[in-house]
Chain A
């Protein structure tokens, strides 16, 4: 992929059909996701890749300011860990949010999401950091002991072996009891992405 490749030919570079077969999307839906991808990837730097700032802007519309949660999602989407999202990474990651994607994938994604330090466990400090972030997001200030109580309650429920951290097995069990924790892991729009972003992209095999 040379840098002189125009956006149009980059679309051709991606084999939509194989992306469709690897993900929950149909061919038409991959194309529709491509329309979305193009929109996001050129909102700040028009280089056909999604940068963190662009991802933040698309989600929060806040001119790309850092955000603990958005940045975590971005890092998880960035499968190649090179600081940008290409179309393949975008489609594959977004596929986890498809209503038909297996719950196990969604559970794993949330586990990695909340394991801020990548230690393989969700630790107390991480939870506290996220609780503080969400309260800040809501402009809500609570006394420290209330926050500690909130974190404590969560660990009492999730940390079944009481070793002070939540491992993947404990997380699976916990999410099983609290299915609404996966609510934001499903984007209903993905079911009808073809109508939200009609694409009619040219480069497709004629089937009819």
Chain B
């Protein structure tokens, strides 16, 4: 059975079609004046995917058309809405992006990133098992994307080769993240929409035995990744039997045979991933530390120095004034309407706060922080701009943070902390776990927003300062600087 999400398009097939007579499978339709629909790219049991072009931007997309009735009949409308908004938040180079959702009376349209290189599944069925080197490159991308989603509490629950697509540059793209429950293929003509997720061949034993109730989504995804890795390296499925019950029995016991041609490191990793006991199964962090995963990695030391593009990005610095701080008010941040409290905090790309510390004090605090954590290299970009360059590779490369200081009045500074590159979640964690506590050591009064920092009494603050070899003149300590987050 072909995967229903056949996004594979050969360029020559969709180029230059404008003005051509409509043919079979090619209907020229304009959707809501915005998208021109082209030919059918793939068809599943209840979704059909079209090639489409955004008339405004000229951008090509894959338009997935879902019959509303079927979703309603399966009473999954709310879940579908919820999952669409989850999916929207996922932005990763190895995840198919959802651009837009539209609807008519009977249909739902999902405008998705068009991936033109075909399915990884097709590649393996055609060419057979992959070289370990090639498989590793795909596997790393898979794990990177899965790790990214898990860090945001999103689980795929139906990872399988058919859900892995390739783009023109042979990059892997996972499709249907968060939506897998809706777009499964009809398996043995059983049900249209299954709430218990997963394709039998890829599904973890605890998912089968618990019927999808109360299992660890992260561990279940790792199992599926293990099956995927096996297929890539072996060219066939690890668990297979004509008799489904027999097959589940094998899955439950983790009963599979490793092909003789695999390297010891690969065998080791697969065995740890296909551990039927979820609590002893390898974790994502351990996978990324495993020998096979790391071997012959060309850890491209992304040129720290030449990466200083930030410099040029700085526009002429605006002098800050009263209106700048006013505009930072939480009450004027209407984007709050669009996000849950928690997410808002975690997905911020910049934070700002005001302080009565002097510029040099703030900068020396930051330098101390970097030295203490050992994870950052500090460089001063200008008089009032400090760049913190992460030394460890994160989910989306190294974290780079830019701290800019603005003078509002002679004794009042505004500090803007921005993520320049790297993972937003890691940035927020850094601000939460390192930056804020560091500045709090001096005195951090509470933010008006959700998290409350208690102000240590002056004595305690002084003690904290003293124990940290804080060497400012006593006068400054007496001046008792304030730091407060404004947004």
Residue ranges of A at the interface with B (Cβ–Cβ < 8 Å) = 26-28, 31-32, 36, 40, 58-61, 67-71, 73, 94, 97, 110, 113-114, 127, 130-131, 133-134, 137-142, 146, 149-151, 153-154, 157-158, 174, 177-181, 183-184, 187-189, 192-202, 204-208
**B448 touching A139, Cβ below 8 Å:** yes
In the complex, which residues of chain B have a beta carbon less than 8 angstroms from the beta carbon of A60? 330-331, 336
Contacts of B335 in A (CB 8 A): 187-189
Cβ contact within 8 Å between A140 and B338: no
Residues of B within 8 A of A139 (CB): 445-448, 455, 484
B104 touches A206 (CB 8 A): yes
Question: Cβ of B104 and Cβ of A59 under 8 Å apart?
Answer: no
**A–B complex contacts, Cβ < 8 Å, 22 sampled:** A28-B103, A36-B337, A40-B337, A58-B337, A67-B331, A70-B332, A110-B327, A127-B323, A137-B486, A138-B486, A150-B322, A150-B408, A150-B409, A153-B321, A157-B319, A158-B321, A180-B327, A196-B85, A197-B85, A206-B105, A208-B31, A208-B104
CB pair A195 B88 closer than 8 Å? yes
Could you tell me the distance between the alpha carbons of A62 and B17 in the complex, rounded to whole angstroms?
56
Q: Tell me the bound Cα distance from A92 to B37 in angstroms.
A: 31
Collect the chain A residues with CB atoms within 8 Å of residue B107's CB.
208
Neighbouring A residues of B100 by C-beta, 8 Å: 28, 192, 194-195
13 further A-B pairs in the complex, CB-CB below 8 A; given A69-B326, A178-B323: A36-B337, A59-B331, A69-B330, A113-B332, A137-B330, A150-B409, A184-B332, A187-B338, A188-B335, A189-B338, A195-B85, A195-B99, A195-B101
Contact A138 B412 (CB under 8 A): no
Interface residues of B: mostly helix, strand, loop or mixed?
A: mixed
Bound complex: CA A84 to CA B117 (Å): 53
C-alpha spacing A184/B352, complex, angstroms: 13
Judge whether B98 and A138 touch: CB under 8 Å: no
When chains A and B are docked, how far (Å) is the Cα of A71 from the Cα of B331? Answer: 8
Distance of A127 Cα from B466 Cα, bound (Å): 39
B376 to chain A, nearest CB (A): 26
- Asked whether B32 lies within 8 Å of A114 as measured between CB atoms, the reply is no
A92 to chain B, nearest CB (A): 14
Determine if A73 and B332 form an interchain contact, defined as CB atoms under 8 angstroms apart.
yes
Main secondary structure of the interface of A (DSSP, over half): helix
Check A138 against B108 for contact (C-beta < 8 Å): no
Cβ contacts B444-487/A at 8 Å (1 or 0 each)? 01111010000100000000000000000000000000101110
Give the size of the chain B interface in residues (CB under 8 angstroms). Answer: 64
Minimum CB–CB distance from A107 to chain B (whole Å) comes to 12
B356 within 8 A of A: yes
Given contacts A133-B329, A146-B412, contact A153 B103 (CB under 8 A): no
- Determine whether the beta carbon of A195 is less than 8 Å from that of B339: no
- Knowing A140-B354, A142-B412, A189-B338 are in contact, say whether A180-B322 is a contact too (CB < 8 A): no
Bound Cα distance from A205 to B246, whole angstroms: 52
The 8 Å CB contact of B32, one of A27, A61, A94, A193, is A27
Min CB distance, B461 to chain A, in Å? Answer: 15
- For A58, the chain B residues whose CB sits under 8 A away are 336-337
Q: How far is the CA of A22 from the CA of B3 in the complex (A)?
A: 42
- Complex CA distance for A202 and B107, rounded to whole angstroms: 10
Residues of A within 8 A of B34 (CB): 26
Note all chain A residues with C-beta closer than 8 A to B445.
Answer: 138-140
**Interface 0/1 of B409-435, CB less than 8 Å to A:** 111100000000000000000000000
The answer to whether B88 touches A192 (Cβ under 8 A) is yes
Assembled-state Cα–Cα distance A114/B326 (Å):
9
Chain B residue with the shortest CB-CB distance to A96: B334
* Contact status B332-A200, CB under 8 Å: no
Q: Closest A-chain residue to B80, C-beta based?
A: A198
